[in-house]
Amino acid sequence: MTALIERTLRASENSEPVSTHALAEAAPRISLLGTTGLLFEAPGELDLPTQQRIWALSHKASTWPSVREAVPGVSNLMLIFDTPPRDIDSLTHALRDAWAEGQALQLEGKVVELGVEYGGEHGPHMADVIAHTGLSIDDIVAIHTAPLYTVYALGSHPGYCYLGGMDPRIATPRRKVPVLKLPGGAVSIGGVQTGVSASAGPSGWNTIGHTSMCFFDPTRDEPALFAPGDMIRFRAERIIR
């Protein structure tokens, strides 16, 4: 994951410092993960400015001597240490101070268009999204393919991208009973997010389509196709009603 952070092409410091009052109202949450891990959770909304500050914090923390790896997640950052930190208080203060600087890291990545077959056997939960939103399948596909989605972070399984930028009109709650054998390439909606399964496995998201793009190949120099800051646009190849 550190290699993904090093793919930064340009850093920009555009954000204004956060006021003391604002920090008091919305303080980040920091918790231990065993003896050699720590999780930083950002306050506020799930949006690109917040994620850009997570990228910046990850980039900075990865240079600290005690940190073996800094792994950015969606509105959070996990730090991994070789040995248990001796001074947790100093470490958490350093994280809070770095966050309070309010600097954003803008990653200029590649743009990839993904062809998607919506509905039919590859979109088994399209009917559920239609029922929840009250929209037609054509409206859902039009809304889903309109944005240019930003890859916020990688996680869940190798190559999987957490995307930001989905239109809230098609937001649909995650399924109460997960699907155990979702195929790779499944395009799904879970809450206010959308994503594509990089490999077969369980999922609680609502699958609305399928793409043939390969997201992870261990034989490549960079196995994961995408990195934080890359962008994805979905294109409807076919709609099965």
Structure tokens at 6: 């090093």
Is 105 part of a structural domain of the chain?
Answer: no
Residue count of the chain, please give it.
241
Range of the domain at 6: 2-100
Based on the fold, state whether residues 115 and 96 are members of the same structural domain: no
The pairing of strands 179-182 and 111-119 is unpaired
Based on the fold, state whether residues 196 and 166 are members of the same structural domain: yes
Domains of the chain: total: 2
Based on the fold, state whether residues 154 and 208 are members of the same structural domain: yes
pLDDT at 102: 67
In angstroms, the Cα distances linking 89 to 23, 58, 60, 93, 120 are 18, 19, 18, 6, 54
Which residues contact residue 127 at a Cβ distance below 8 angstroms, ignoring those fewer than 6 apart?
Answer: none
Is 234 part of a structural domain of the chain?
Answer: yes
Based on the fold, state whether residues 47 and 140 are members of the same structural domain: no
CATH number, residue 186: 2.40.100.10
For 231, what's the count of Cα atoms within 13 Å in the CB-facing half-sphere? Answer: 15
Which residue, 70, 100, 130, sits at the end of a domain? 100
Based on the fold, state whether residues 132 and 221 are members of the same structural domain: yes
pLDDT at 10: 33
Based on the fold, state whether residues 124 and 234 are members of the same structural domain: yes
pLDDT at 23: 41
Based on the fold, state whether residues 151 and 37 are members of the same structural domain: no
Based on the fold, state whether residues 79 and 163 are members of the same structural domain: no
Burial 17-49 (b: 16+ CB within 10 A, else e): ebeeeebeeeebebeeeeeebbebebeeeeeee
pLDDT tens-place values along the chain, 241 residues long:
333 333 333 333 333 444 444 444 578 999 999 999 999 999 988 899 999 999 999 999 999 988 999 999 999 999 999 999 888 999 999 999 999 986 788 888 999 999 999 999 999 999 999 999 999 999 999 999 999 999 999 988 899 999 999 999 999 999 999 998 889 999 999 999 999 999 989 999 999 999 999 999 899 988 999 999 999 999 999 999 8
Based on the fold, state whether residues 115 and 152 are members of the same structural domain: yes
Is 164 part of a structural domain of the chain?
Answer: yes
pLDDT at 7: 37
**Does the CA dihedral 214-199-173-127 come out positive or negative?**
positive
Based on the fold, state whether residues 120 and 17 are members of the same structural domain: no
pTM for this model (two decimals): 0.80
Is 190 part of a structural domain of the chain?
Answer: yes
CATH number, residue 36: 3.30.1360.40
Which residue, 46, 69, 100, sits at the end of a domain? 100
pLDDT at 57: 94
Is 59 part of a structural domain of the chain?
Answer: yes
pLDDT at 191: 95
Is 137 part of a structural domain of the chain?
Answer: yes
Is 123 part of a structural domain of the chain?
Answer: yes
Based on the fold, state whether residues 83 and 126 are members of the same structural domain: no
Based on the fold, state whether residues 21 and 90 are members of the same structural domain: yes
Is 106 part of a structural domain of the chain?
Answer: no
Which residue, 65, 100, 135, sits at the end of a domain? 100
Q: Residue 216: what residue type? A: F
